[in-house]
């Protein structure tokens, strides 16, 4: 998410049905975002972590041509989704000075790059774990209505930045076992959002949730370089693991909906839209060498080979999609999410 986050991603986005004045011309009045680098718009700027995007060339194609904390050359898929829903400005990063007063009436962003379902990995990366993102959300919750629509995407960072690169984990757990662990964390997260621990019914909180699948992680430039083993095209082993995780998420979502009357879950497919893009003639890998740039150590103003026109590329750096790819993903999310907002 990334994509996910595209890994992402971990991503939770809430479209909240309120009636606040500055959002009356939008399809929904507020957007609340949780997740990883796929949707972090600057919270990590205020944390002691290497995972930041507050320096060039990030933000080069954003409206002010300045880095904003987004891991992209321009807009994220969630930014484009907000514009599609009628928003003229974006909800602020919750840790930023802008997250106060009327700015919060259109929502809040709690996402943190390098976060994910695996709490230990997020803490190790000095990111905001999902549990803490939920605590921040509860601070904000007094301004939210009960009839909210949530979209959740998680797991990309867990695999790309944790499982595959950490022998202490991948030598002990198979991809299948690690997927099961992450899905268990996902189920717990949904229950907290839905307030279903004390009852078996969604009395408040999240009642309508759209869960995004993992994108084709084996097609990320970093994954192809590190794990492709000179394989032509995407790393098939990684994509197989990704699809295994996606099957578990679909099964868990179906079970949660059966177990918790009042809860509606739709699983959004982000694997196919991005995979189709990668299989097109478009090049991918943009900022610097396209190998493993995700932090200031490897992706910075002096990186070599930054593409002059990011609209021709699927990926902006080694794991994050370009604004052009985010547009395709946003279109897919909107189309698949109609059932949840009608």
Say whether 37 is catalytic: yes
Q: Residue 98: its pLDDT value, please? A: 93
Q: Give CA 249 to chain center in angstroms.
A: 15
Q: Residue 144: its pLDDT value, please? A: 54
User: pLDDT of the chain along its 342 residues, tens only?
Assistant: 333 433 333 334 433 333 333 444 787 777 888 888 988 999 999 999 999 999 998 999 998 899 999 999 999 998 998 898 889 999 999 999 999 888 888 888 999 999 988 999 999 999 999 889 888 988 887 655 455 567 677 788 899 889 999 999 999 999 999 999 999 999 988 887 776 545 555 545 567 787 889 999 999 888 888 887 777 889 999 999 999 999 999 999 999 988 887 788 888 899 999 998 888 744 444 544 444 444 444 445 555 445 566 667 788 887 888 898 889 888 888 888 777 766
CA distance 150 to 30: 11
Q: What is the pLDDT of residues 66-87, one digit of tens each?
A: 999 999 999 999 899 889 888 9
Q: Which ranges constitute the DSSP H helices of the chain?
A: 77-84, 119-124, 130-140, 156-158, 167-170, 175-194, 221-227, 236-259, 271-279, 323-341
Say whether 65 is catalytic: no
Catalytic residue among 118, 317, 318, 322: 317
pTM of the predicted structure, to 2 decimals: 0.77
User: Token pair 């809430």 is at which residue?
Assistant: 14
Q: Residue 226: its pLDDT value, please? A: 84
CA distance 108 to 311: 28
Q: What is the pLDDT of residues 165-211, one digit of tens each?
A: 999 999 999 999 999 999 999 998 888 777 654 555 554 556 778 78
Q: How far apart are the first and last CA of the chain?
A: 27
Say whether 188 is catalytic: no
- Nearest CA to 166 among 114, 131, 129? 114
CB 216 within 8 A of CB 274: yes
| 305 φ/ψ sector (left φ>0, alpha ψ -120 to 50, else beta) | left
Domain ranges of the chain: 2-277+323-341
CB 335 within 8 A of CB 18: no
User: Token pair 């939920």 is at which residue?
Assistant: 134
**2-277+323-341 carries CATH number 3.30.1240:** no
CA distance 32 to 204: 16
Catalytic residue among 5, 37, 115, 318: 37
Q: Residue 16: its pLDDT value, please? A: 36
Q: Residue 272: its pLDDT value, please? A: 93
CB 157 within 8 A of CB 10: yes
């Amino acid at each position: 998410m990334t994509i996910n986050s595209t890994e992402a991603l971990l991503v939770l986005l809430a479209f909240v049905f309120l009636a606040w004045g500055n959002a009356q011309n939008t399809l929904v009045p507020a957007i609340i975002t949780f997740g990883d680098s796929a949707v972090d718009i600057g919270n990590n700027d205020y944390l002691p972590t290497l995972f930041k995007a507050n320096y060039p060339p990030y933000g080069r194609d954003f409206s002010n041509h300045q880095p904003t904390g987004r891991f992209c050359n321009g807009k994220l898929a969630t930014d484009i989704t907000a514009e599609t829903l009628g928003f003229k400005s974006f909800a602020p990063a919750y840790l930023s000075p802008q997250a106060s007063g009327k700015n919060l009436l259109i929502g809040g962003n709690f996402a943190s790059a390098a976060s994910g379902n695996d709490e230990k990995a997020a803490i190790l990366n000095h990111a905001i774990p999902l549990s803490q993102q939920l605590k921040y959300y509860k601070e904000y919750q007094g301004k939210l209505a009960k009839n909210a629509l949530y979209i959740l995407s998680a797991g990309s960072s867990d695999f790309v930045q944790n499982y595959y690169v950490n022998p202490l984990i991948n030598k002990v757990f198979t991809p299948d076992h690690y997927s099961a662990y992450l899905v268990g964390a996902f189920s717990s997260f949904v229950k907290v959002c839905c307030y279903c621990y004390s009852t078996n019914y969604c009395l408040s909180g999240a009642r309508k949730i759209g869960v995004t699948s993992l994108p084709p992680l084996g097609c990320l430039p970093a994954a192809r370089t590190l794990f492709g083993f000179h394989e032509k095209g995407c790393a098939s082993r990684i994509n197989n693991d990704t699809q295994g995780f996606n099957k578990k998420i679909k099964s868990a979502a179906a079970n949660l909906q059966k177990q918790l009357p009042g809860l509606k879950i739709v699983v959004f497919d982000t694997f196919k839209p991005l995979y189709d893009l990668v299989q097109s003639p478009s090049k991918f890998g943009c900022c610097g060498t396209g190998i493993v740039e995700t932090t200031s150590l490897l992706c910075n103003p002096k990186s070599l080979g930054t593409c002059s026109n990011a609209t021709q590329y699927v990926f902006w750096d080694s794991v994050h999609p370009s604004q052009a790819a985010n547009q395709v993903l946003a279109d897919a999310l909107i189309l698949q999410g109609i059932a949840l907002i009608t």
